[in-house]
A and B are shown apart, each in its own frame.
Chain A
Amino acid sequence: MSPLSGYLLLSALLFSIGLAGALTRRNAILVLIGIELMLNAANLNFIAFWRYGPNPAALTGVMFTIFSISVAAAEAAVGLSIILAVYRHSKSINLDAMNSMKG
């Protein structure tokens, strides 16, 4: 097994763990955390391909990961404040209780 395929397998496993969490948990915060885990698995893929790829001097993988981390941070901030707004409205962040878009 080459080193790169080890990293790719680990990243696939992290993605599956995040997917399982996002699908099975009913708490909105945990679903958001699961999505963050899936983003992180993609970041690991970028860095692994950059490290073992043919042209690491171009820095493409590193740049993509930096921008991806920034977008994920913005997503987490906006997502958590939406969860706060929903909680203030309906006193619950259980996803099964969020079944109407109108107040």
Chain B
Amino acid sequence: MTISFFIIAAITIVGTAAAMSLKNLVHCVLSLTLGLVGLALLFLLLGAQFVGFTQILVYVGAVAILAVFAIMMTRSAEPMTNLPPASFRLSGVLIAATVFAVLAWAISSATRSLPSQSSQPEVSVNQIGVALMHQFVLPLEVIGVLLTAALVGAAILAMDETGASR
């Protein structure tokens, strides 16, 4: 456990907790971006450079921007007036706290049997590319088909039905 882990973990937790609790939706997405950058830094800290930069490209670059566009197009940037009752929110937080308690108990009781390799694995983008093109080529093709289908599906779903598009 290094000091950098605790700093980055604090940034990530603060960012995500603010994203889930703030009133203004644009502020929510901005703090979500902070949390996702923290997660990417954690990936870099763990030695997975490629995954860390993919995280920044996909989440910070694409998903956050997409969420901001959706917020603007649905005019939900102003704070919502009809909040759910306090008991409803309290029960949701209680459920999440229970889930965390169970997970933390499981992790702490299994901590002796967890693996702990001390040497940082050296993995280059070259190795990842070779593995993608040989061992994992079928999942790669499936992901390509999935992304194409998602692109077409998202365009069709967001298309205006009432216009002359039919």
Contact = CB atoms under 8 A, between A and B. Distances in A.
Interface string B39-78: 1001100111011001100110011001101110110100
Contacts of B127: 59
Interface residues of B, number: 83
A88 interface: yes
B70 A57 contact: no
A16 B99 contact: yes
A32 B12 CA distance: 18
Contact of A77 (B76, B151, B160): B151
Contact of B71 (A29, A49, A59, A74): A29
Interface of B: 1, 5, 9, 12-13, 16-17, 19-21, 25, 28-29, 32, 35-36, 39, 42-43, 46-48, 50-51, 54-55, 58-59, 62-63, 66-67, 69-71, 73-74, 76, 80, 82-84, 88-89, 91-93, 95-97, 99-100, 103-104, 107-108, 111, 114-117, 120-121, 123, 127-128, 131-132, 136, 139, 143, 146-147, 149-151, 153-155, 157-158, 160-161
Given A1-B1, A16-B96, 19 more contacts: A5-B108, A5-B114, A12-B100, A18-B20, A19-B99, A23-B91, A23-B96, A33-B19, A36-B63, A37-B32, A47-B46, A52-B114, A56-B121, A59-B131, A74-B149, A78-B154, A80-B67, A84-B157, A88-B161
Interface of A: 1-10, 12-21, 23-27, 29-30, 32-34, 36-37, 40, 43-44, 47-54, 56-57, 59, 61-63, 65-67, 69-78, 80-85, 87-88, 93-94, 96
